[in-house]
Structure 1
């Protein structure tokens, strides 16, 4: 049953093709973001990286999940995505392999997010941000328009870390 699951019950492959079970992050606050390299919101990578660098010593995990589901804005392969993120935004936080985040083919984590957070929590564009508590539960989420440097986002990060 979905209510018995937590985010830590799911697994991805890393962008480098290695297993990335989310149970490795159990007990840590996690922010999961569906990303794309050719989106109007792509500059948010910089703000996400800044948040991660500021709070990784507090245990925060930032996890980018590339997806090509919205207007074909992540057309690259794993190597192209990694290079783009590093060269343009200095992204050092973990990235998963490119997956679907919407529809029947969506990665199971995103189906779980939809059940936990309701219909409006499902990603409807790139750069939806999901805050997972130390217990693996969805705590809150933000749409693409909420930037990582906004007061609302920063407050939620503080609460997640305290959590």
Structure 2
């Protein structure tokens, strides 16, 4: 229950990012607009194919399959900022399909840190003082566009804190 109160307090304390539209290049071609999921919780995770945490793809897929029918979106954002991603989006897509049977939405390889970071991550850094410290950092965007919570690499996708936070927003 304390975790739930902490998450709810965090949602109230952080202003919404909903006023801004964040569009990513999709690994499948085209674009992914976070605005298409307004009204739904979205877990955004910076990923890498050659990281020690790569097995978390299994948990991300499990989370997606379990909660997508209730509105959850899990968005994988492959990044080579920590020098642990494959050379191209096509290689990442094939690796994730073969090794993890991923069906969740995925962006193309994207910068998540520094001056060249994607607008979503740059805005998080500028407004919240948060940026990924490693691969598989997680950001929960609440249905209203506010940032509900963030977690580091060691917090597994199916962990109690993540599930409790997500369940507060499900339909």
Give your verdict on TM over 0.5: yes
Structure 2 Cα separation of the partners of residues 87 and 139 of structure 1: 32
Aligned residues between the structures: 157
1:113 aligns with 2:124: yes
Task: From the superposition, tell whether residues 67 and 113 of structure 1 become closer, same or farther in structure 2 (CA, over 3 Å).
Answer: same
Q: Does the CA-based 8 Å contact 2:96-2:102 persist in structure 1?
A: yes
Structure 2 Cα separation of the partners of residues 85 and 92 of structure 1: 9
Structure 1 Cα separation of the partners of residues 32 and 148 of structure 2: 22
Gaps of 5+ in 2: 1-14
Which one of the candidate residues 139, 146, 167 is aligned to 1:158?
A: 167
Higher mean C-alpha displacement, 143-152 vs 35-44: 143-152
Which one of the candidate residues 45, 70, 76 is aligned to 2:87?
A: 76
Give the superposition deviation at 1:122. Answer: 0.8
Gaps of 5+ in 1: none
Which one of the candidate residues 16, 22, 26 is aligned to 2:38?
A: 26
> What per-residue deviation string (whole Å, max 9, x for no partner) do you get for residues 81-133 of structure 1?
01111111111000001111000000010011223432xx3101000000001
Give the superposition deviation at 1:148. Answer: 1.2
Q: Does the CA-based 8 Å contact 1:7-1:137 persist in structure 2?
A: no
Give the superposition deviation at 1:4. Answer: 6.8
Aligned to 1:12: 24
Structure 1 Cα separation of the partners of residues 131 and 30 of structure 2: 26
Give the superposition deviation at 1:141. Answer: 0.7
Structure 1 Cα separation of the partners of residues 19 and 38 of structure 2: 9
TM-score, length basis structure 1: 0.90
> What per-residue deviation string (whole Å, max 9, x for no partner) do you get for residues 29-67 of structure 1?
100000000000000000010000000001111100000
TM-score, length basis structure 2: 0.86
Which one of the candidate residues 101, 118, 128 is aligned to 1:90?
A: 101
Structure 2 Cα separation of the partners of residues 77 and 155 of structure 1: 35
Structure 2 Cα separation of the partners of residues 7 and 141 of structure 1: 20
